[in-house]
Amino acid sequence: MKRMLKKCLWLALAAIPAFAAETLFSNYTLNVNSTGKAGSLWVFSRGDLYSGVTLLDLNVGSTGIQVNDSKQEQMSDSMTAVQAGIFSDVLAEHRRTPSVYAGKLGYVLPMYGLDDDGYASQPAGFFSVRGIDNWYETPLKIPEAFQDIDTAMYYAVSGFAFDSTKKLLWLARGAAGLGVYDVSGNSPKQGMYQLNLQTGTLDSAKINYKWKDKVNPRIFDVKLHPVTGELWLATSKGLWKRSADGKVSKVSAALDTNARVTGLWMGGDPLMIIAETSRMEKDLMKGALWVLRKNSKDFAKVDFLDTAGKKQKKDVYDDGDYTVTSVAFIANKAYVAVLGPGGGVSGYFKLDSAGIRAWDMDDDGKNQWLYGYASGATDRDAAITSICSFPLDSKTEGLAISTYGNGVSVSADTGKTWSTILNRAKLGGNLGSIRMVPSVITAGDQSLVSYKVSKESKITIDVFSYDMRKVRTIVKDVHRDADAFRSTNPKEDFWDGKDKAGRACTMGVYYVRVKDNHDHIGWGKVMTLGGHK
């Protein structure tokens, strides 16, 4: 049945024209990270049927950040770097796509295979992307204790750390403990460790070890301290570290053995260490954001300040039910990307020495702490899925964010202004070519209607079914400027797979007609897979 469905999808897609010179593998990006070289980024995308990576080469020009070159590569048709429930999972450690730049291993991401129902929820190891046409699937051994476990996500990879001196890649593997991938020799070696609370040691584990939840806490994240070289472990029983002499000790009294520490990030100047805790309490997820600053004795909850600098009494982080997806550090600030339940709310906080400051207050008197669509970080209201800092050139540290539906946005001035990078193949003027990006959607997603006019125009966009029955008018007689590349207004010119009554259209190919007031007409095609399952 699944093979037949995939075949039907490909037959339907054959009716939609292919376009060359794409900028990204897909505009549905889940992760962005540095390549280790100035002016370039790795981007992971989830496409309509497959996943893939993009290598971007950028430069700062007079009109913003520009793409010099872009190369894409599709991943395996049965493996992906993002788990199927990333927007629906209630567990914080499963609501992000971690990555790390790991020297000769390149861009490292988790790897998931398909379960019996065809969903990507089977942890399978990690991807090592060393070049656009040089990447590897690296399986990880599954301990025998978990081969029949009901929820395979219990041993999913949820964090990385790379020791560039010893050439060791560390992997947080949940109930499977701590993994290590040693590339110091001619042939890589795998290892497994378990934190033992009874002995206070990090024990080497074999494939047939006996896991005990109360003795061997789940390890959700791992980081290498940039100053001391200690290995820090975020676990289901607090925050721990292993020193250079192999001794294991508890890091924090505030994050004691009752704390479920689900994420850990280190960076900045002076050094800032950020931790996330998340636990279930009476069917509700209780989350908190913590920070340890230089010369502080212990972690403290992050303060949220209003536009006047007044500390808020309520816990803004827990109130928003946020989950940290990633953190970027530039100088003395941290840019903390977060995602709300279902991906409906997302953005990033700016954390400085005082806390997280509100950048605005809306008409209802509510403070705005999250940067995103409203602050100009994206030009469409799409979920922000990750953030990173990277060297744009020898003098400029850039910021980049990935979004689910709007490509990536890049800033050369720490978020004051942004350049959005989308799939923008060359368009013919005067509605000479109409592109739908992406060309396949599910109802509720957005397919951008891309077009170009050579002079100011009034635009009308209509959607028709395969039998040419009008199902929706998207915009009517709206003003659009002439543009050398694209006249589309991303905030309005998109179709979400629904008809004029707001109902999901049935699966199939639909025609999109764009008209101006100068007797020009252009047509595009898009396929919807129908409503969400």
Neighbouring C-alpha atoms within 13 Å toward the C-beta of 154: 16
Q: Is 304 left (phi over 0), alpha (psi -120 to 50) or beta?
A: beta
Is residue 306's pLDDT more than 70? yes
Using CA atoms in the order 419, 325, 112, 141, what is the torsion angle rounded to 10 degrees? 130
CA 10 remoteness from chain centre:
27
Give pLDDT tens digits for 140-168: 988 887 766 778 899 999 999 999 999 99
Res. 12 pLDDT band, cuts 50 70 90: very low
| Least trusted range by pLDDT, from 385-389, 467-471, 483-487 | 483-487
pLDDT in the model for residue 215: 86
- What percent of the chain is predicted at pLDDT more than 70? 94
Mean per-residue pLDDT, 45-67: 86
pLDDT at position 440 is 87
Length of the chain: 533
- Asked if the model's pLDDT at residue 49 lies above 70, the reply is yes
Average pLDDT, integer, range 99-106: 96
Residue 411 near residue 398 (C-beta atoms within 8 A): yes
Confidence of residue 338 (pLDDT cuts 50, 70, 90): very high
Full-model pTM: 0.82
Among residues 179, 12, 32, which one has the least CA distance to residue 96?
Answer: 32
pLDDT of residue 48: 66
Q: Is residue 291 a contact partner of residue 351, using CB atoms and an 8 Å limit?
A: yes
pLDDT at 525 over 90: yes
Question: What's the pLDDT at 141?
Answer: 86
Can you give the pLDDT at residue 151? Answer: 81
For residues 472-482, give the mean pLDDT.
Answer: 95
> What value does the mean pLDDT take over residues 480-501?
88
Distance CA 32, CA 106 (A): 13
Residue holding tokens 């170009």? Answer: 452
- The pLDDT assigned to 299 comes to 97
Name the average pLDDT for the chain: 90
* Pairwise CA distance, residues 416 & 408, whole Å: 16
Residue 425: predicted pLDDT: 62
**Confidence at 485, pLDDT banded by 50, 70, 90:** confident
User: What is the structure's pLDDT at 13?
Assistant: 37
CA–CA distance, 120 with 79 (Å, rounded to integer) = 7
Please tell me the distance from the alpha carbon of residue 429 to that of residue 426, in angstroms, as a whole number: 10
**Ordered DSSP codes for 279-294:** EEETTEEEEEEEEEET
**Residue 11 pLDDT:** 40
Highest mean pLDDT among 202-211, 418-427, 492-501: 492-501
Q: How far apart are the C-alpha atoms of 487 and 299, rounded to whole Å? A: 49
- Nearest CA to 284 out of 318, 255, 323 is that of 318
Q: CA dihedral in degrees (486, 491, 497, 503; nearest 10)?
A: -150
Confidence of residue 20 (pLDDT cuts 50, 70, 90): very low
Q: What is the mean pLDDT of residues 460-488?
A: 93
Q: What is the pLDDT of residue 284?
A: 80
Residue-wise pLDDT for 340-361, tens only, equals 988 889 999 999 999 999 999 8
Closest CA to 259 of 276, 236, 281, 228: 236
pLDDT value at 16 more than 60? no
pLDDT on residue 490: 81
Residue 402 pLDDT more than 80? yes
| Residues 43 and 388: beta-carbon distance below 8 Å | no
Give CA–CA dist 123/235, Å, rounded.
Answer: 19
Are 410 and 400 in contact, with CB atoms under 8 Å apart? Answer: yes
Map out the domains of the chain with their CATH numbers: 29-71+325-422 (no CATH), 435-528 (2.60.40.1930)
Q: What share of the chain is helix, strand, coil (3-state, %, to 5)?
A: 5, 45, 50
pLDDT tens digit string along 176-194? 999 999 999 999 999 999 9
**Distance between CA atoms of 373 and 346, rounded to whole angstroms?**
9
Q: Comparing C-alpha atoms, which of 405, 284, 272, 399 is closest to residue 337?
A: 399
User: Which alpha helices (H) appear in 203-359, and where do they start and end?
Assistant: 316-319
